[in-house]
A and B are shown apart, each in its own frame.
Chain A
Amino acid sequence: EAGVAQSPRYKIIEKRQSVAFWCNPISGHATLYWYQQILGQGPKLLIQFQNNGVVDDSQLPKDRFSAERLKGVDSTLKIQPAKLEDSAVYLCASSPPQGGYNEQFFGPGTRLTVL
């Protein structure tokens, strides 16, 4: 079974530029999550989708971050404009169709550096 796929793996941009990350969850997984992990910290949930609907985006900085999952499969997370403090690893995870209470499976992450 293929795991959660993410791209790109690394991205370096200057502040005020835009960036987008892509995630393809495990086939058949209805729930998709985006996390931000700052160096030395545990991951923090940014947004959770159930199919193509948003379940929780309470910790997403909506003035600069946006995410979509139009067909209920893959997802894109965008930052516009980026700030220095956005430097982090962005992790995507998915859970099986039984709902958000099941085990989460993580992708390799995208390491973003904002200069």
Chain B
Amino acid sequence: KQEVTQIPAALSVPEGENLVLNCSFTDSAIYNLQWFRQDPGKGLTSLLLIQSSQREQTSGRLNASLDKSSGRSTLYIAASQPGDSATYLCAPRGSGGSNYKLTFGKGTLLTVNP
């Protein structure tokens, strides 16, 4: 059974700082991994999707890396802004059979202070 851990559980930083959110998963047999953000009272917004064959994916100030063999992914946010304040969730997808679904971590609550 896939288990996903996100560290830290909460993070508070001043505006402009670069930061890294960590995600680890126990089963490295994944098809891809998706990073989401969730604003209070809202649904999930997809940020980046990394295929298992990729090492990283970039979108604007966001960069996600994947080390499948060690069961780790990181989300790097450059020059953080107050609007980045949200909960960030990672979700690896199993590679098939009975384990193809997304498994979510509990998330990292990010607060960027002006």
Please list the residues of chain A having a beta carbon within 8 angstroms of any beta carbon in chain B. Answer: 4, 6, 40-45, 48, 56, 58, 91, 93, 100-101, 103-109, 111
Contacts and interface: CB of A to CB of B under 8 A. Distances in A.
A91 B44 contact: yes
A109 B43 contact: yes
B104 interface: yes
B105 A42 contact: yes
B45 to A, nearest CB: 7
B42 interface: yes
A101 B44 contact: no
B45 A106 contact: yes
Given A42-B4, A42-B104, A101 B32 contact: yes
Q: How large is the interface on B (under 10, 10 to 19, 20 to 34, 35 or more residues)?
A: 20 to 34
B31 interface: yes
A47 B94 CA distance: 16
Contacts of A104: 34, 46, 102
Contacts of B93: 101
Contacts of A109: 42-43
A25 B89 CA distance: 22
Contact of B49 (A6, A43, A91, A103): A103
B43 A42 contact: no
Contact of B106 (A41, A45, A106): A41
A43 B104 contact: yes
B72 interface: no
Nearest to A93: B44
21 contacts: A4-B43, A42-B89, A42-B91, A42-B105, A43-B89, A43-B104, A48-B101, A91-B43, A101-B31, A101-B100, A103-B34, A103-B49, A104-B102, A106-B36, A106-B43, A106-B44, A106-B45, A107-B43, A108-B42, A109-B42, A109-B43
